[in-house]
Amino acid sequence: MLDAQIAGGLALSVASALTLNWAYVQEHGAANDLPPLSLRHPVRSVRLLLGSREWLRGVAAEFTGFALYVIALAMAPLSLVQSVSAGGIAVLAYLSAHRSRRATTPRERVGVGLSLLGLIALAISLIESVSHQSSASVAALGFWLGSSFAVAALAIIASGRYGRGVPYAIAAGILLASGDVSMKGAFEGHWHLIFLATGVIGYGVGTVLLQIAYQHAAVLTAAGISTLLINSVPIVAATTILGEQVPDGILGVLRVAAFALLVSGAVALARGQAHD
């Protein structure tokens, strides 16, 4: 049977996903009402954001969603928490369509359908799940996070050629995912507490980059791409450096299928039209 602690963690993951995706739509609308934001003028950009009540409302919701996420991480394996969070992109599709007063497109409906199928497959795969403590060495986590920061930097450099929308969303997603992996690592205590610092860097810089991406891409494109990375990258980390195991037999097949469906749904929803 499903471990009660894991069940509680997954319930909090659902609440977190709903809150965070509402926050993304709120922040996107607020950021588009502001003058251009830029990494070259970080202080000015932060002041503009802090001066927007609508943006602060979105950030307050994002902090609430993040707090729920952190509690969920302490109760359930990272790979499961992220899989549930990935399904939140279906909420993002609905909210973005509602805010812009338009009907969802066929591509968005396909993405929502794939995400929901993924959540069903995930739920079935959890029937025999039990509590599992994941762990990784400081060196392994450090290498993973260093590589992630390097890839994010390359994405920012690529914005000079491809515009700021998609590259900044990619960089934001990778950095925010690094924050998630850092937090999970920090829960191990002792020397792993140093990853609280990389978590702060990942969340802080990633959040600013995402606000800039919002000004150069549609919400479903910017938030969709970043959400895809925020959820898929930690799942890969969980099943590699953190050693979280995939169940055997049919349940293992369902777990892998759930991940594939959730990622496919996120990709379908993220392939919107940027307005860079």
* Tally of CB atoms within 10 A around 242: 25
Residue 259 lies in a domain: yes
pLDDT recorded at residue 164: 86
275 domain-assigned: no
- Whole-angstrom distance, CA of residue 173 vs CA of residue 175: 6
- Residue 273 has a pLDDT of 47
Predicted confidence at residue 244, as pLDDT, reads 67
Residues of the chain with pLDDT under 70: 1-2, 79, 123, 126-135, 189, 243-245, 266, 269-276
Q: How many domains does the chain have?
A: 1
Q: How far is CA 86 from CA 25, 31, 163, 248, 260, in A?
A: 16, 23, 26, 23, 11
Cβ-based burial of 182 (10 A; exposed 0-12, middle 13-18, buried ≥19) = buried
Taking the model in full, what pTM does it have?
0.76
User: Is position 276 within any domain?
Assistant: no
On whether residue 188 sits in a domain, the answer given is yes
Residue 131 within a domain: yes
pLDDT for the residue numbered 117: 84
Establish if 32 belongs to a structural domain: yes
Contacts 24+ apart (CB under 8 A), 241-244: 241/136, 241/140, 241/141, 241/144, 242/78, 242/134, 242/135, 242/136, 242/184, 242/185, 243/134, 243/135, 243/136, 244/77, 244/78, 244/79, 244/132, 244/134
pLDDT at 38: 84
Is 89 within 8 Å of 264 (Cβ atoms)?
no
- Which pLDDT tens digit goes with each residue over 69-93? 889 888 887 767 877 777 777 777 7
Q: Are 199 and 234 in contact (CB under 8 A)?
A: no
Alpha-carbon distances, residue 70 vs 53, 145, 159, 185, 259 (angstroms) = 26, 18, 31, 12, 21
Containing structural domain, residue 247? 4-270
* Domain-located, residue 217: yes
**Residue type (1 letter), 138:** V
Q: For position 55, what pLDDT does the model report?
A: 93
Place of tokens 């549609």: 218
